Amino acid sequence: MKTLTPDELLVEFVRRSRPVIITELGKHWPAIGKWSPSYLSDRFGDVLVHVRGSRFGMKDIGDIPLSEYVDWLLNARMAGASNGSNSLLAQYHAAHPVKPYVAYDGALPQTELALDTGFSSLFPPGYHPRTTRCWIGPEGASTPLHCDSWGFNIFYQVAGAKRFTLFSPDQTRFLYTSNIFEFNTLYSRVNILAPDYTRFPRFKDARSVEITLNPGEILVLPRCWWHDVEALETSISVNCWIVRDRDKLTASYLLNSLKKAIHNVGLYANDRCTCHLSPDKQDLGRTLGWY
C-alpha cells in the first residue's frame, strides 16, 4: 500500500490481524535524508544510550554517549570490527559473536522523534502511542524470534534495510514458546537461522513470510505476530507501539503486570528474564534452548 488512513489501517489490517507495508507515506517524513549516524551523533552525541550485544542487554558496556557508539560504528564499518575507535566496544565485538547496537532506546528526545516522523497521522481514533523507540546498528545486528502481546507495532525504516521473517499468530504451535520472561513479550526457542529439527520437529511445518524493509517504508504489525529481524546494512529505525487505554483491562495484560510486579521484587523468573541474561549470545542461545 502506498498510503493508508487511520480508519483503513484499523479496519482492514489491525482488526483483521494482517501486517501491511506502507511504501510511500514515510518517504515524505523529515527523518528521510536527514538522519544518519553522524547526524544523530552531532545532534544528540552527549545523550547516554544503552548499547547491547544482543536483544537481551550488554552489561559489559551499558550506557555510553551516543557519540562514542557512532564513532565505533563508523570506524568498525570502514576499518573492520576489531579496529573500532571505542576500545571497549571493539574488545566486546572481538570477544562475542554478536553485533553491538543501540536498541529499544528511549533516551533520545521524544519531541525530536515526533517532529521528524509522522506516526500520529496513522493513529486510529482512541489509540495513542505507548512509547517511541530508536534502533541504530551495523549490518548483522539482529533480534531473535519473538512476538508482542499488547497493542500493535508501527516500524519505520529510516536508513539502511532490514529483513523481517514473520509468522502469524496461528503458527505459534510450531514455534516452541520459551519460558523467558519479558513484559508482554514471548520468545521462541527455535533459532530460525539454524533450526534443530530433532529437538523442534514441529518447526518444519511452520509457514513464514520474509520481507525486506527499505528506507522510507513502514511495517505495521498487529499484536502477536512473531518476527525475527536482522539489519542488512548499517541501519536506523524508529518504532512506535500503539495501544488503547482499555487494553490494560485484558486478562493477558493484567497477568503480565502481576508477573512484572513480582519479578521486580525478585520473586519471579529472575534467572530467566531478558534483563538478567548474559550479553554473550552463546549463553542466550543456551537459555533459549537452541542447543
Q: Which domains does the chain have, with CATH numbers?
A: 6-288 (2.60.120.10)
Query: Which residues have C-beta within 8 Å of that of residue 87, sequence separation ≥ 6?
Result: none
Q: Is 75 helix (H, G, I), strand (E, B) or coil?
A: helix
Element (H, E) at 95: helix 87-95
**pLDDT number for residue 27:** 97
Is the pLDDT at 141 greater than 50? The verdict is yes
Averaged pLDDT, 231-256: 91
Phi first, then psi: what are they for 147, rounded to 5°? -140, 155
Is the pLDDT at 60 greater than 80? The verdict is no
pTM: 0.89
Taking all residues of the chain, what is their mean pLDDT, rounded to a whole number?
Answer: 86
83-139 pLDDT, tens digit per residue, is: 444 456 666 666 665 677 786 677 788 888 888 999 999 999 999 988 888 999 999
Contact between 188 and 229 (Cβ < 8 Å): no
Burial 262-273 (b: 16+ CB within 10 A, else e): ebeeeeebeeeb
